Amino acid sequence: MSTISEWSILEKLLLTQAVYKYGENMWFQVARVLKQHGLIQPQQRPSDFFSQKNCQFQYYLLVEQLEAEKQVYRHNDLKNDMPVVVRIARQLYLQRIEEVKERLNQEQTEFGQLAEEIQAIKSGKWDDSLKGDIQQQQQQQEICIKRTSSEVHLETNLKRCRLEEEKDASIHEEHVISTAISTPTETTSIEQEMAIPPPLAVLTPAAPSASEVP
């Protein structure tokens, strides 16, 4: 079973209402009601968040929490006679009311602050502050423009240097090739030695034999 994330008070309240309507054995119907309920945003939950197993697990977790708080209601026979699902729904309903009240108070506070800011702007109290903010934004924009211009200039110079280097390398290569073609090949010292004919052998007259001596 996947890990159960924390349910909101509204989700718990809708769960208990569905269980009260369809019963504790119709988890398929309970899960479908929660998935299709207009007050729940399923895109903020995993696809299996309102599965049958998760709904059943969460409901019985609420039942266990209620049993742990049973001592609070031991002197109230009316509440003890209520079905478990009704008592859970009652608690969640009261918690939901407090949650809505707190949210309303927070929104009223934020609205009051916003109204005061608007009034201060209209009365000119924020003129110096707004001018300073505008000047700061303009300075930041100018810095960004200068930085962008410098980067473009640097990139242009780098491209120009690369083109010049490639051009010089091409000219040097052509020069080397043309020089190699136009210059005759020099003979080496070994080839020169092989090209010189050997000296004529000096013929020494042979000594006359004894029979030839008069």
Burial class (CB in 10 A: 0-12, 13-18, 19+), 8: middle
Is the pLDDT at 192 greater than 70? The verdict is: no
pLDDT in tens, 162-171: 887 777 777 7
The band of 51, judged by pLDDT with boundaries at 50, 70 and 90, is very high
The band of 105, judged by pLDDT with boundaries at 50, 70 and 90, is very high
The predicted structure's pLDDT at residue 202: 46
Alpha carbons 26 and 56: distance in angstroms, whole number: 10
Is the pLDDT at 140 greater than 70? The verdict is: yes
Alpha carbons 106 and 125: distance in angstroms, whole number: 26
In this predicted model, which residue has the larger pLDDT, 1 or 66? 66
The predicted structure's pLDDT at residue 6: 87
pTM: 0.54
Alpha carbons 100 and 98: distance in angstroms, whole number: 5
Three-class SS state of 54: helix
The band of 76, judged by pLDDT with boundaries at 50, 70 and 90, is low
pLDDT in tens, 34-45: 998 888 876 678
* DSSP per-residue letters across 143-192: HHHHHHHHHHHHHHHHHHHHHHHHHHHHHHHHHHHHHHHHSPPPPPHHHH
Average pLDDT, integer, range 63-81: 69
The band of 87, judged by pLDDT with boundaries at 50, 70 and 90, is very high
Q: How many CB atoms lie within 10 A of CB 195?
A: 8
